[in-house]
């Protein structure tokens, strides 16, 4: 397959749907978690849930990097931006994430200088262009975006830029999956593995899921047929009483990961003892910080941060949504007080957020459309 249209062929989707249905055991309920928020958006943008039998449920996971950032870290970023001579930079989907006293946009209205960038290299360019200011890049994301931050740090050091630093909020996917597996709130039959993260870390890190928890995982691409094929592969494993890690996204994901990207991360970053995730609480070894060799570029060392843990608004149920315990439409404020224009929680802000996916693509209830039978 070379063209996008071939990954969205409705006849092939119906054929896969029929094969999935054939593998269903009568009376059995199946629950698969799509870890990545990009998969959630594909599922609801293309109505893939409607191609599945009623006894297969797809549960969204915590794979939205913006959504898992706790409010306290947003407040810390704004605190840095308020320091004299600081120019803060961030990816665009962070600009509207609410902290305890508003978002980055709200902070800018009060006089801070927080700018949207498309890459950490854009922040580095700003540091070169504005030597009188200290430019801080708020680094977020899973292992997908960590290599670009790492390469930027290496370049900043090689250029000797003294007015650039990174506020590191990179998180790692494996501890989050383990936390979900250990949670008593959710019982899953398998995982649709994250595609973008796996282009960096590969498939081997997931092997403990099949070995220790006896749950199958299939790393999947982001087109409709990718996801349907990954569900078929999961169902086939269950039908054959297998628990393995398989790679549906082999056209992009190398089994052993991207060694150059992993090396850059390891040279510049190390694991934190613990990190707070929205909805999941503190998880050990689940995020990175800059190594001692890069202390001059570490905003957490350069600035004294409040570091206050801030609870989500009482009306917001992002935590339960991120854990897959609630569907977005089960949240009390979904689609009413909380919309993409007036978000209360992070899941409604990010392009990868589950609530944004459900809202933008009209999933307001449990009802499905019988697409597969048409």
Tell me the CA distances in angstroms from 141 to 48, 115, 264, one per residue in order.
26, 18, 16
Spatial contact of 267 and 307, defined as CB atoms under 8 Å apart: no
Residue numbers of the chain with a pLDDT score lower than 70: 1-3, 364-374
- Cβ atoms < 10 Å from Cβ of 136: 27
Q: What is the pLDDT of residue 299?
A: 98
Q: What is the pLDDT of residue 232?
A: 98
d(CA 66, CA 98): 11
Spatial contact of 44 and 328, defined as CB atoms under 8 Å apart: no
What are the tens digits of pLDDT across the range 106-132? 999 999 999 999 999 999 999 999 999
d(CA 133, CA 126): 9
Query: In the chain, what are the domains?
Result: 5-63+179-247 (3.40.50.11750), 71-173+257-302 (3.40.50.11740)
Q: What is the pLDDT of residue 372?
A: 45
Query: 134-141 and 114-116: which strand pairing?
Result: unpaired
Residue 277 phi, psi (nearest 5): -110, 135
Name the residue among 161, 181, 77, 141 with its Cα closest to residue 351: 141
What are the tens digits of pLDDT across the range 314-363? 888 888 888 888 889 899 899 999 998 888 888 998 878 899 989 988 77
Q: What is the pLDDT of residue 374?
A: 43
Terminal C-alpha separation, the chain: 25
Spatial contact of 17 and 229, defined as CB atoms under 8 Å apart: no
Query: 274-277 and 281-284: which strand pairing?
Result: antiparallel
Query: pTM for the whole thing?
Result: 0.90
Q: What is the pLDDT of residue 56?
A: 97
């Amino acid at each position: 397959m070379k063209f996008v249209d071939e990954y969205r062929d409705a006849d092939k989707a119906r054929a896969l749907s029929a094969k999935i249905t054939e593998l269903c055991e009568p009376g059995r309920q199946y629950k698969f978690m799509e870890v990545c928020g990009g998969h959630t958006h594909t599922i609801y943008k293309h109505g893939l849930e409607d191609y599945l039998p009623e006894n297969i449920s797809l549960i969204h996971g915590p794979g939205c990097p913006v959504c898992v950032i706790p409010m306290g870290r947003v407040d810390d970023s704004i605190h840095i931006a308020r320091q004299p001579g600081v120019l803060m930079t961030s990816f665009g989907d962070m600009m509207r994430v609410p902290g305890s006293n508003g978002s980055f946009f709200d902070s800018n209205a009060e006089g801070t200088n927080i700018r949207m960038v498309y890459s950490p290299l854009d922040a580095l360019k700003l540091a070169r262009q504005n030597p009188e200011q200290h430019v801080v890049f708020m680094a977020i994301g899973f292992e997908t975006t960590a290599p670009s931050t790492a390469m930027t740090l290496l370049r900043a050091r090689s250029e000797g830029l003294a007015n650039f630093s990174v506020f590191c909020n990179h998180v790692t996917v494996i501890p989050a999956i383990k936390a979900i597996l250990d949670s008593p709130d959710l019982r899953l039959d398998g995982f649709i593995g994250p595609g973008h993260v796996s282009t960096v870390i590969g498939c081997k890190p997931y092997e403990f899921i099949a070995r220790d928890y006896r749950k199958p995982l299939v790393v999947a691409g982001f087109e409709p047929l990718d996801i349907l094929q990954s569900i078929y592969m999961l169902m086939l494993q269950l039908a054959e009483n297998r628990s393995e890690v398989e790679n549906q996204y082999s056209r992009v994901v190398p089994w052993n990961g991207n060694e150059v990207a992993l090396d850059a991360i390891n040279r510049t970053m190390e694991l934190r003892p613990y990190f707070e995730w929205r909805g999941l609480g503190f998880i050990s070894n689940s995020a990175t910080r800059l190594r001692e060799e890069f202390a001059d570029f570490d905003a957490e060392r350069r600035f004294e941060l409040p570091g206050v843990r801030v609870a989500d608004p009482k009306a917001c149920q992002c935590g339960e949504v991120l854990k897959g315990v609630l569907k977005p439409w089960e949240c009390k404020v979904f689609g009413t007080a909380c919309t993409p224009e007036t978000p209360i929680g992070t899941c409604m802000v990010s392009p990868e957020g589950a609530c944004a996916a459900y809202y933008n693509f009209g999933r307001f209830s449990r009802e499905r459309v019988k697409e597969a039978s048409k």
